[in-house]
A and B are shown apart, each in its own frame.
Chain A
Amino acid sequence: MSRRWIWTAVPIALVAFAEPAQAQGQGEDELSRIPSEAPPAPPATPSGRSGLGKLQRTVYLESATEAELLRSSLDVPSPSPAPTTIEERFFADLVLHWIPTRDLTFHLSARGGFRVGEGIPFPTHENIRADFRELYASWKPFEGAYLDAGRINLKSGVAIGFNPTDFFKTRAVVEPLSIDPAVLREDRLGTVMLRGQFVWRHGSVSAAFAPRVASPPPLYTNTTLPALDPMFGRTNGHHRFLLKGNVDLIADFSPEALFYEEDGAVRLGFNVAQSLGKKVVAYAEWAGGWQSGIGQEALSFGTLTGSFSSAVADNLATSSATHFQQDASVGLSYATESKMTFWLEYHLHQAGFSRADWRFWFDQGTGPSGQLLAPILWFERGYAQEQQVPMSKHSLFLRADWTDAFIFNLELTAFANVDLYDGSTLAQVTASYAVTNLWTIALLSSANIGSRSSEFGSLPSVFSALFTIRYYF
């Protein structure tokens, strides 16, 4: 061993075994913030916990008080009954999962309660509402394969404001508390169907058949909702078939393709979502098929269900010919380090109203036959709402969400739906605060902004506010 090596090794050993330096920058305040080592013990695994055990349940009670400010007059008069200006709803919401064996699961999702309000007679059956959203069984014959049967809420699509590939959305939303698309999906009925699904390491494929089990009922209004009725006519008024699948083409790129048939009419669909860097997600959704314009479709539906006579509808009839019509939703989301997320979406609904269609709608409603035609004109708009499609061909959707805004557990959400023809806007702001793990309160306010002859400015409601209190059991 050379002397030079020894002179080198000694300082190494000294450094290695010497008392190390104190960490720089480790403030006492860091350590003083640490809670004592006696955190609440994690709960055991009994039944009754929301997400564990053989019987899982989520139950809450909610009180929702809504006040609405109506316009004093409208260019196209709103049909009677006039919208309710104040309404109170009190309901229980129940979701149950029962897992008797590893391969068999039963699901129940329902909501029921009372409502009173201006224009809703009391006491009548109109004061009671119950919706059976889902009731189905799932069986796993082998790993990755699933068979589901019953009333199922089958949702497709990756966009936020409008989902062209969500083919089972039509007529499924019942009495929504908010027009926020995210909330609309919570209040929707499932469809009676048989569904098979296979999920493997590189993708999945699903097939669903929903039979016609009842005739399609007319459009519902706030005062014609049945009290205790599964309303199968809304969800199972036609034979419907869906085949969809997604495959990982490369890494995390996994687009989904859809084939949908309803009473012989075919629609094709496609959707994809992709991260662009750390903060941005880009997504696109497209569907296309042969159909007539939304106005003509509504008129055909209205005469079919006896909502009005074909003689009156003929005054508004346009071409009943079907064309290949496309729907699209293309958007971006952007998340910040401050717990804010923004979405921007463009919506295309080719079967929707063009600028000329809007002019025709207002001309007819304000013309000499306006009083006669107004109910049918508003029926067209109610039809689009039940179909959950935009009324206009081109619209823009913006949304912002801020988690832990100002204080812990306060969430602020705002969205705007903008008609790109006339610039009119439906805007809503929501503040939701989780007071405890069990109590949540929320305040929503929405406004229809625009001129009297615009899409949103022509609506009866100017402004509405909703206050909710929710308690989980």
Chain B
Amino acid sequence: MSRANALRIPTGLVIAALSAGAWGQTPAEIVARADEVRNPNAAFRFLSTLTEYVSGKPQAQNVLAIFSKKDPRTGQFRNLVRFVEPPRDAGKAVLLDGRAFWFYDPASKASVRISPQQRLIGQAAVGDVLTVTMSIDYTATLVSTESVQDANKKPRTSWHLDLKAANELSTYARIEYWVEQGSFQPVKAKFYSDSGRLLKILFYRSFETWLGGLRPTEAVILDAVDSSRVTTLKSSEHRLQQIPEAWFQREYLPRLEAE
């Protein structure tokens, strides 16, 4: 490679870097600020209503109670998910703690360990989608500054960030992430598998004040593999919640209540 080529830096990157610098934020800081917008720091509990759309028509609805608490050692959220609706799933529970994932089924009274890949199969994966601490799980670089349309087709001037998995525990290998300049509100994200396959596209919307901040209360997930599938996640009944460390033991799962 010639010396001239080695020094040739893509113009887009220069512009992006300069743009971020003008706001006084590094890419990592932008992602961290967006994390703070999405979720409070304290332990909390909320209900998440999932509506599954197939070809534009609602096909199924699930209600989950999600308990989230940051691990003081890693800064990542740990989640306990209890299924509330529909009746056939009521009482099922999932523990998502770092790399320890357990699924409890009240019908069989059995807790089985699931792999990081398996947790993405069920609805409980939404717990992670909503509370993933991107600033810890991923290493961010700035791609560009763009005007991106949000879920309501409103243009938002955003940083376009490229997030690479920072460790083997990260659920997705790569995420493209758009964060609005100024407000640090997350606008949109694209999630990729290890093989580079685009799995889902997520839009944040319905920003409301809860637990001390203006935060999104709804996520719209477009299935990138099956274009007929869309899932909306509407969160409600947020409240601060004392979550003892013992709750993150698998033996506690049968005793987890939704309230």
Please report A residues at the B interface, Cβ cutoff 8 Å: 11-13, 15-17, 19-24, 26, 29-31, 33-35, 37, 39-40, 42-43, 45, 49-53, 56, 58-60, 95, 97, 99, 138, 143-144, 146, 153-155, 157-158, 160, 182, 185-186, 197, 199-201, 203-204, 206, 246, 251-252, 254, 273-275, 277-281, 283, 333-337, 339, 341, 403, 408-409, 434, 436-438, 440, 470, 472-473
Contact = CB atoms under 8 A, between A and B. Distances in A.
Interface in B86-109: 86-88, 90-91, 97-101, 106-109
A34 B203 contact: yes
8 closest A-B pairs by beta carbon, nearest first, are A16-B22, A50-B90, A51-B84, A201-B245, A252-B100, A185-B108, A273-B113, A437-B86
B229 interface: yes
Contacts of B59: 408-409
Nearest to B92: A51
A99 B257 contact: yes
A125 to B, nearest CB: 28
Given A21-B144, A51-B90, A95-B91, A35 B63 contact: no
B60 A40 contact: no
Interface string B20-64: 011100000000000000000000000101011110101111010
A336 B53 CA distance: 23
A246 B58 CA distance: 43
Given A52-B84, A246-B250, 5 more contacts: A13-B22, A16-B22, A33-B227, A42-B237, A278-B194
A103 B149 CA distance: 49
Interface residues of B, number: 93
Nearest to A159: B112
A297 to B, nearest CB: 26
Contact of B110 (A95, A155, A204, A254): A155
Interface string B229-259: 1101010110000001110111110010111
A472 B109 contact: no
B113 A274 contact: yes
A23 B178 contact: yes
A203 B110 CA distance: 17
B153 interface: yes
Nearest to B114: A281
A224 B49 CA distance: 47
11 contacts: A16-B22, A21-B147, A35-B230, A35-B232, A39-B232, A42-B49, A49-B63, A52-B259, A58-B90, A144-B244, A279-B117
Interface in B144-181: 144-149, 151-153, 157-158, 160, 168, 178
B86 A50 contact: yes
Given A39-B51, A337-B117, A155 B108 contact: yes
Contacts of B99: 251-252, 275
A35 B146 contact: no
Interface in B49-86: 49, 51-54, 56, 58-61, 63, 65, 82-86
A45 to B, nearest CB: 7
Contacts of B255: 138, 146, 199
A43 B19 contact: no
Contacts of B121: 335, 339, 341, 403
A24 B19 contact: no
Contact of A252 (B56, B98, B195): B98
Contacts of A251: 98-99
Contacts of A17: 22
B5 interface: no
B142 interface: no
A157 B257 contact: no
A281 B112 CA distance: 10
A99 B256 CA distance: 12
Contacts of B98: 251-252
B206 interface: yes
A279 B193 CA distance: 12
A33 B203 CA distance: 11
A408 B54 contact: yes
Contact of A45 (B148, B168, B194, B237): B237
A35 to B, nearest CB: 6
B149 A16 contact: no
A199 B113 contact: no
B205 interface: yes
Listed residue (B56, B106, B144, B245) with the most chain A CB atoms within 10 angstroms of its CB: B106
B18 A16 contact: yes
A394 B59 CA distance: 45
Contacts of A440: 88
Contacts of B18: 11-12, 15-16
Contacts of A31: 149, 151, 153
A158 B251 contact: no
Nearest to B259: A52
A39 B12 CA distance: 39
Given A273-B113, A336-B117, A434-B60, A21 B145 contact: yes
